[in-house]
Amino acid sequence: MVARVRLHTVAELLQEGFSTVRVPLMGQALCAGFPSPADDFLEGALELPRWLVPNPPATFLWRIAGDSMRDAGIFDGDLACVDRSLKPSHGSVVVAAVDGEMSIKRMVVERNRAHLSFDNAELPVFALEELAEVNVWGVVRFTIRWHVARAGQGR
């Protein structure tokens, strides 16, 4: 079955009006490096245009901490918009729970076997233990990055 997708121009979106949806912001930063313990709690929500968030009930924002995904254009301090309804495939940037610890990685499928990897050539290969429990939690739809200094952020 092939899904039909209609592409809109920005002008069309502006004519249709800007409805917004509230997307929950997870309070614990998402580790972009080696996983670290994380508490699952919400920090608040951000209002985003509805056309950016096709499935609001399955969508969350995570703040990125670390630089293991910088070759994918995902940097420390960015916000990742994660959609739990998307099916991950080869090349997807995913949020995964590795032994219960949330992190962001690239999904690579080779010979019908999936594994997770960093997207930073300066880091060692991300090695998963043979018996590690890995659950892909969602797929990164897009990221948000500030390009100007933010007060109190040291940028």
User: What confidence tens digit (pLDDT) does each residue in 51-81 have?
Assistant: 899 999 999 999 999 999 999 999 999 999 9
Q: What is the pLDDT of residue 91?
A: 93
Q: Which residue has the higher pLDDT, 34 or 21?
A: 21
Q: Which residue has the higher pLDDT, 42 or 60?
A: 60
Rounded-to-integer distance, Cα 155 and Cα 145, Å: 12
Q: What is the pLDDT of residue 55?
A: 93
Among the listed residues 19, 68, 87, 89, the single catalytic one is 68
pLDDT at residue 117 is higher than 60: yes
The residues, any chain, with a CB within 8 Å of residue 129's CB and separated by 6 or more, are none
The question of whether 68 is a catalytic residue gets the answer yes
**What is the pLDDT confidence band of residue 39, given thresholds at 50, 70 and 90?**
very low
The residues, any chain, with a CB within 8 Å of residue 104's CB and separated by 6 or more, are 30, 31, 32, 62, 64, 68, 69, 74, 80, 93, 94, 95, 96, 140
DSSP 18: -
Q: What is the pLDDT of residue 13?
A: 62
Instruction: Tell me the average pLDDT of the chain.
Output: 81
The residues, any chain, with a CB within 8 Å of residue 23's CB and separated by 6 or more, are 45, 46, 47, 48, 53, 56, 59, 60, 61, 81
Q: What is the pLDDT of residue 59?
A: 94
The question of whether 87 is a catalytic residue gets the answer no
Q: What is the pLDDT of residue 9?
A: 73
pTM: 0.75
Tell me which residue has tokens 């610890």. 101
- HSE-up of 44 (CA within 13 Å, CB side)? 3
- HSE-up of 93 (CA within 13 Å, CB side)? 21
Q: Quick one: average pLDDT of 10-29?
A: 75
3-state class (DSSP) for residue 57 = helix
Q: What is the pLDDT of residue 34?
A: 46
DSSP 13: H
Among the listed residues 36, 103, 105, 117, the single catalytic one is 105
